[in-house]
Structure 1
Amino acid sequence: MPHAPMAPWNNPSFLFLLALLSLMSSASQSSRLFREYIGAESNCLSFLDVPIHPSVDFHFILSFAVDYTTSKHPTPTNGDFNIFWDDDNLTPSHVTSIKQSHGNVKVAFSLGGDSLGPGYVYFHPFSIDSWVANAVTSLSRIIKRYNLDGIDIDYEHFMADPDTFAECIGRLLTTLKNNRVISFASIAPFEDDEVQRHYLALWRKYGSVIDYVNFQFYAYDASTTVSQFLGYFEMQRSNYNGGKILVSCTTDRSSSGGLSPEHGFFNASRMLKMQGKLDGIFIWSADDSKSNGFLYEKQSQDLLASDRLY
């Protein structure tokens, strides 16, 4: 008597195919967003020096605009921002040119950063209302002059409590978006108690106006393993619940940390892509990558653009 055909759900080959299709579906849901900070080190670097893959969404992030004076001894200005990136090689005409020649490129700029000269940059508002009013005015002027698309928040030192930070930054982003001055916004926290207190306060109240979380995974220890990195990623997905968490590495050899490209960063990124969790990759920074021919920028963009599962 002939055997009845095996039900497909009991067939190992069929089950393997289903699993493969599920992986392919998850991978296809991952983002193709690549972001790169540029201009912080006045390294005579232009947008044209950086390789741009035609199949990714590419964001340059000019670094930095700071609400400090431009004098020899910079001091806080309560929201009146000045440009501190390399304005000789990254000018308004250069922004217009790179966007016209590459339809997949957008240009943002970042506020704050770690330091100016020998001193830290502090978030130091005199009052919420006055800081927001000054910031909206000065930043709108910069955005329009440079034809910028978005803004990134990278304050790392604070002379204000978390609630004040949340209100100042949250109102700023809300106003710029409502006025259609910017189309996207991001924040750049890292694992530090004070930093996280401030950014999580902002996220809890104004997460709806923040499009990307450029989490600085390279601030973790340089001995980070792939499994530890994936654990850190899940922890930050929980902290910034519902946010698009970008993975990151640094090409700054003087302060390198986290999971490096040489020790598994791309393996970890590939695993997240297979799971449909890779919301994008960013690198700090183009200035530091110039010396190695932008090797990791190329690898990052190839990974994002590829449909392969390995």
Structure 2
Amino acid sequence: MHSKRWLRNIQVIVTLGLIVWLSWQANWTDLGHILGHAQWNWIFLGTLFVLVSHWINIFRWKLFIPPSGVSFVLLLRYYGAGIFSNNFLPTGIGGDGVRAVLLSRQASLSSSLLSVGSDRILGLVGLLSFVVPGFVFGLPPGITAYFAKFFSSLPYSLTIGLILIGLILGLITSWWTRFLWFTPLSQSLKQFSTDIQPHSFILGYSFALLSALCLVFTHMCILIAFDQGSLPAAAIWLVVMGSLSMLIPISINGLGVMESVYVLVLVNYGIQTAAALSVALVIRTLIIGFGLLGGLLALHLGIRGNQVPPQEQMRDIHKP
């Protein structure tokens, strides 16, 4: 409890500090002018891409749910409760636990945890896959010049490469252990592998790529809405860096961190700070808006659903 209190205090301080820094950097007159002259038809199109991305995510999650009679509508509400929790609970990972607990009404708790964990890992792998086209398009110009000097030495390149590989493996491992630390791995994974077809992972990875691609299109639309051009390279790096920044628990739900990343990336493309902050604010508004929509979808959950008796859940958790 003491460590959690310290973490929360740090998150509050970092969040407030970043908000103050962004406010100091922004020219509020320019910001108001840019937002007032935005092309809202492009913002609407970007919103539709976000909706499609969430829809794909639900289909991806469904691939890893053992046959249990859960309907798509009920799964939609569970997913809505998850994204609402992600935005309005203290940490950005709360929604995964909420999804698993709600799904355990129709399936065993271990199967629910494994389904959410598999879905989350494939989503992360799909997101990181866009690093490849990002490097093909090139890093932001200002960052490229810096890294060109830094990576000119082979030992530095190898060191950074190993650090990146370790970071990716660490993220994947952390997601598995977050959900599986109290489940009997041998029994749960054996049953999970029996219920889930191998091709589900290939299809799930394809869905993860499509979902991330929709987010890239969203960012391209928002950039066009503020007369900055489509900038596909910038859109890719915003999606990758912005999404990863949300996983770093140094602020409240990534508030301030994501916006700072957006400003730093877009400024390196020659975009003014006010325009960069406008893009970040619109994306944050979409995140919060869909979180609220998810909460509305979850309002009717109550205690509906054929719940698995608590005795069965406990028996499943403590199976030898």
Greater relative contact order (Cα 8 A, min sep 6): structure 1 or 2?
Answer: 2
Greater helix share, structure number: 2
TM-score exceeds 0.5: no
Give the TM-score normalised by structure 1: 0.24
